[in-house]
Amino acid sequence: MLNIGCHLSAAKGYLHMGEEAVSIGANTFQFFTRNPRGGAAKAIDESDVKAFTAFAKEHGFSKILAHAPYTLNACSDKEATREFALNTMRDDLARMEYTPGQLYNFHPGSHVGQGAQVGIELIVKQLNAVLTKDMTTTVLLETMAGKGSEVGRSFEELRAIIDGVELREKMGVCLDTCHVYDAGYDIVNDLDGVLDEFDRVIGLERLKAIHMNDSKNPFESHKDRHEKIGEGAIGLDAMVRIINCPRLQGIPVLLETPNELDGYAKEIKMLRDAYAF
Ligand code: FE
Ligand code: FE
Ligand code: ZN
């Protein structure tokens, strides 16, 4: 079973996202918990969540992925920015409990010149402040392209964050194909080697979601520009090897390619047609 979906707008609520997903052949999706640039979140509509939960069950949805706003930076050098990140994540995680047992992904942050070590310590501090024993959500660190002072450009940096978290069982990783390729992990010519390294450094059991994006830029560019599937430097063959990789079965795959709904529908069909299991 290929669990695949794409990024959808949350403006019309959960049930609407579920219906939209089904209409394009998806059985999962990603959405922003609030405006990607930050700001207040819409109040949760409990009847909408309830209707969605029934709908998702009926249509065999896998786990869905909530994405934190980009502006969230737990390792900023500014206290106010760090505080915003902390409050936003805490609020997001409280809201996530309306849909128990799902996934919450965030960009670890940018250390803005303080160095990766300081960045990692600040991110750890925030996670230790917001994670709770009772929460049912798994919090995912996204693999980053290494643009600017991004933390999370290597598996070692992600491992260091996880190592610092007390409630480590709440943590996982979301692998973004564009980002890791951009960061210098050759998933085109050596997928197995990259997965071996992921397993050695982080542990493959922590891999909970895949962002499937082609890349506008060549290997190791550190630029983070997504391209449509098959139209970038990674190419369709490499994507097909990823979805058909025995070690990655069951992990939800989310497209964040530059597309409207019809474009996403085409990519989902293309990948489902190439799925071998
Ligand atoms: Fe992301
Ligand atoms: Fe991503
Ligand atoms: Zn990206």
Domains and CATH numbers, the chain: 4-274 (3.20.20.150)
Reported in sequence order, the residue ranges of 89-229 that DSSP labels E, i.e. its strands, are 103-106, 109-110, 138-142, 150-151, 171-176, 207-212, 214-215, 226-227
| Among 159, 185, 226, 264, the one annotated catalytic | 226
Residue pair 177/169 in contact by the 8 Å Cβ criterion: no
Token digits for 65?
């992925």
Q: How far is CA 268 from CA 26, 56, 93, in A?
A: 7, 18, 29
> Is 59 one of the catalytic residues?
no
Tell me the ligand closest to 255's alpha carbon: 2
Whether 226 is catalytic: yes
Q: Does 222 participate in catalysis according to the annotation?
A: no
In DSSP notation, 253-276 reads: EEE--S--HHHHHHHHHHHHHH--
pTM above 0.85, yes or no: yes
Q: What is the pLDDT along the chain (277 residues), one digit of tens a residue?
A: 999 999 999 999 999 999 999 999 999 999 999 987 777 888 999 999 999 999 999 999 999 999 999 899 999 999 999 999 999 999 999 999 999 999 999 999 999 999 999 999 999 999 999 999 999 999 999 999 999 999 999 999 999 999 999 999 999 999 999 999 999 999 999 999 999 999 999 999 999 999 999 999 999 999 999 999 999 999 999 999 999 999 999 999 999 999 999 999 999 999 999 999 8
Task: Judge whether 181 counts as a catalytic residue.
Answer: no
Asked if 99 and 92 touch (Cβ cutoff 8 Å), the reply is: no
Expressed in angstroms and rounded, the spacing between residue 34 Cα and the centre of ligand 3 is: 18
Q: Which ligand number lies closest to the CA of residue 211?
A: 2
Q: Which ligand is nearest to the CA of 141?
A: 1
* Catalytic residue list contains 67: yes
Residue 9: count of CB within 10 angstroms of its CB = 11
